[in-house]
Chain A
Amino acid sequence: MNATYFKDQFQQLQTENDTVHLAALRAGSFGTFDQKGFPTTKLEEWKYTNISSLFDKEYQISPFTDNPASLAAAIEEIQLPEHTNANVLYFVNGRYEPSLSIIRSTIEELQVMPLLQAASAGFQEIIDQHLGESSVYLKDGIHALNTSFITDAVFIHVAAGKELSHPVYIYHLADAQHQAILTQPRSLVYVSKRAKIQIAETFRTVGTMDSFSNAVMEVVVAQDAFLEYYKLQNDAAHTSQVSSTHIHQTGKSHVHTVTISLNGGLLRNNLNMILDAEGNETHLYGLSLLKGKTHVDNHTLIDNKHPNCFSNQLYKNIADDAATGVFSGRIIVQPDAQKTNAYQSNKNIILSDQATINAKPQLEIFADDVKCSHGCTVGQLDEEALFYLRARGISRELAEVLLLQAFATDIVEQVKIEPLRQHIDTLIQQHLSIQ
């Protein structure tokens, strides 16, 4: 896919509602994209994941679907359990759709609006300060491409002291019925002081043409606020994704994330945690069940900038068939970040000779009084445990499923929205039992 196409698209963007900040941000980002193009495997951060080859084909940027009725079934199918108890946000082809979305929390608790309206609704300062700050860490062309095309993004604001009783479900639909499609959803979430929010995000492509989602979410978590963030990737094998989540803890706060990857083509998840105040706590969990040719790459970054922060990461992969799992976990401990506690663990089971796991822990420690650890295991199922189960009359197939479920369980348990946890548990059981 050539740069001229994107240049044309970029020049056609309607920009009348732009703030000065946004216009500058977009122009600068397009410059970056124009210069760097799509990341290739020559870049260290993209060594194990080749997305540039995906862009050999002609993806279209089509924010409007030509046949909304054809998405009706998918609008229902994508729904997560207890949908009717949730604040529901739909993106269609990367564009936030207020008409499909339903906000159940009160306006005093939660405000959700198109980003371009938010500036005039009193949130300009927040937007100017935080929109685009992920580019400081994600400097490649694909990230710049999303920022270049920020138009129908969403702004989510949780008011100070409000603990949302309804979770926020974000559904991404892509219409690939007639053409290969590139979608670029964008969101900015602000969790004010002492507020609490649970966010769950999932993706579905309609149609058999390829789809590529280049999604960026930026989240600010203020003093004493609490964020839970869940990502469920279970789309078709012809769908690919770069999904970047950039979480900035600006005050002492607590973040808990779980990334579950079940099906898809090539999936790259960037998860950045910027621990920008003393006493931050953050927990990152990930589980990928890889089959077929699925390729899942989890890249985490934890930047400890201040003293007394705690982070814990546990990522697990089960790789079967010709699938590939990548885990790259980077922990930076800045000179001021004394008394940092940072733990990282990556555990992998390989079930087939063709499956691949790449693991890359990176610790960059510039303070001297810290506790950091990392560990990685790659292995097969325990034959002794399999025999124990078989000796009780359990078939080898079921014994394998039981052991794999057991391996997955300590990640699944981290999903604190109970109906969602049960849903994921069921998906995993189905996923593991299909041979």
Chain B
Amino acid sequence: MLSIKNIHANIDGKQILKGINLEIKAGEVHAIMGPNGSGKSTLSSVLAGREEYEVTEGEVKFLGKDLLSLPAEDRAREGLFLAFQYPVEIPGVSTTNFIKAAVNEKRKYLGQDPLDAVSFLKMMKEKMAMVEINQSLLSRSINEGFSGGEKKRNEVFQMAMLEPKLAILDETDSGLDIDALRIVANGINKLRSSDRAILLITHYQRLLDYIQPDFVHVLYKGKIVKSGTKELALELEERGYDFITEAADMANL
């Protein structure tokens, strides 16, 4: 589904990603872990299409298409979803209208008719129940005055509504207390399916107690320095990143 080959990326002339390779197949859950500053958020930004990042080398295929040549909105319409680490507050735009616009822009792109009001409301109700989000949040402006947990729940709700093929969850666990984390993780688990891939980006192993990944990769200094199964995450939790980063630094000397 997603094939990343030798990606190098800069921001403001500073090289952050230095040759990333990753293959993700439908139905798989991958976790990318790594210490602060290793390039985790840069990777998600490059995949989602933030224009301030410059890709200098490498390619990304998403469902056979050249992802990097598409603008951010077309990536979303093709089925890529980024749950933001810091969801943006947008006063004056109602969450419901926003999601309706997003759903219908995607349908238009795919050559489908827009959803009528009844079908849209039915879909909203279904997904609201699935991710345990309250109607009152959705009638407010996008994320305005939401708590950290509410913002993340809203991200998962949008993911449910947009039914992406690949969801990238950027530090979705950050800033959540244990109850909020459980609710958010439950929502994500309900969205796991055999035709959907999930890429979890996280600093801590904590999230992976709730969402069990098939593969775990460690990102360090802009490269994936180790890959393994979920046991790798447990080992990181126990031993910290040092045993991997030191080995990587040694190899680079």
Q: Which residues of A contact B (CB under 8 A)?
A: 382, 384-385, 387-396, 398, 402-403, 405-407, 409-410
Nearest CB in chain B: distance from A407 CB, A: 7
Q: Which residues of B contact A (CB under 8 A)?
A: 48-50, 71-73, 75-77, 82, 84, 87-88, 90-93, 97-99, 101-102, 105-106, 109, 141-142, 158, 162
Nearest CB in chain B: distance from A344 CB, A: 20
**A398 neighbours in B (Cβ, 8 Å):** 101, 105
Contact A385 B88 (CB under 8 A): yes
**A388 neighbours in B (Cβ, 8 Å):** 84, 87-88, 90, 142
**B82 neighbours in A (Cβ, 8 Å):** 391
**A395 neighbours in B (Cβ, 8 Å):** 73, 105
Contact A402 B72 (CB under 8 A): no
Nearest CB in chain A: distance from B172 CB, A: 15
**A410 neighbours in B (Cβ, 8 Å):** 92
Contact A392 B90 (CB under 8 A): no
Contact B73 A396 (CB under 8 A): yes
Contact A392 B92 (CB under 8 A): no
For the complex, what is the distance from the CA of A395 to the CA of B72, rounded to whole Å?
Answer: 9
Contact B101 A390 (CB under 8 A): no
Q: What are 17 inter-chain pairs, A to B, with CB distance below 8 A?
A: A382-B88, A388-B84, A389-B90, A389-B102, A390-B76, A391-B48, A391-B72, A391-B76, A392-B76, A393-B102, A395-B105, A398-B105, A405-B92, A406-B91, A406-B93, A406-B141, A409-B92
Contact B98 A389 (CB under 8 A): yes
Contact A402 B88 (CB under 8 A): no
**B102 neighbours in A (Cβ, 8 Å):** 389, 392-394
For the complex, what is the distance from the CA of A402 to the CA of B94, rounded to whole Å?
Answer: 10
Which residue of the partner chain A has the closest CB to B89? A385
**B158 neighbours in A (Cβ, 8 Å):** 392
Task: Pick the residue among B48, B77, B90, B106 that contacts A403 (CB under 8 A).
Answer: B90
For the complex, what is the distance from the CA of A39 to the CA of B245, rounded to whole Å?
Answer: 74
Contact B109 A393 (CB under 8 A): yes
Q: Which 7 interchain pairs have the tightest Cβ spacing?
A: A406-B92, A393-B76, A392-B102, A388-B88, A390-B72, A393-B106, A390-B73
Nearest CB in chain B: distance from A377 CB, A: 14
For the complex, what is the distance from the CA of A382 to the CA of B88, rounded to whole Å?
Answer: 10
For the complex, what is the distance from the CA of A387 to the CA of B106, rounded to whole Å?
Answer: 16
Besides A392-B162, A394-B98, A402-B93, 10 more A-B contacts (Cβ < 8 Å) are: A385-B90, A389-B90, A390-B49, A390-B73, A390-B76, A391-B49, A391-B72, A394-B105, A405-B92, A410-B92
Nearest CB in chain B: distance from A395 CB, A: 5
**B88 neighbours in A (Cβ, 8 Å):** 382, 384-385, 387-388
For the complex, what is the distance from the CA of A389 to the CA of B97, rounded to whole Å?
Answer: 12
Task: Pick the residue among A389, A393, A396 that contacts B77 (CB under 8 A).
Answer: A393
Nearest CB in chain B: distance from A317 CB, A: 16
Contact A393 B92 (CB under 8 A): no
Which residue of the partner chain A has the closest CB to B106? A393
Contact B84 A393 (CB under 8 A): no
Contact B76 A406 (CB under 8 A): no
Which residue of the partner chain B has the closest CB to A393? B76
Nearest CB in chain B: distance from A98 CB, A: 43
Nearest CB in chain B: distance from A14 CB, A: 53
Which residue of the partner chain B has the closest CB to A397? B73
**A390 neighbours in B (Cβ, 8 Å):** 49, 71-73, 76
Nearest CB in chain B: distance from A416 CB, A: 19
For the complex, what is the distance from the CA of A410 to the CA of B92, rounded to whole Å?
Answer: 8
Nearest CB in chain B: distance from A396 CB, A: 7
**B142 neighbours in A (Cβ, 8 Å):** 388
Nearest CB in chain B: distance from A332 CB, A: 32
**B162 neighbours in A (Cβ, 8 Å):** 392-393
Nearest CB in chain A: distance from B90 CB, A: 5
**B49 neighbours in A (Cβ, 8 Å):** 390-391
Which residue of the partner chain A has the closest CB to B77? A393
Task: Pick the residue among A387, A393, A403 that contacts B105 (CB under 8 A).
Answer: A393
Contact B71 A402 (CB under 8 A): no
Nearest CB in chain B: distance from A415 CB, A: 16
For the complex, what is the distance from the CA of A216 to the CA of B76, rounded to whole Å?
Answer: 53
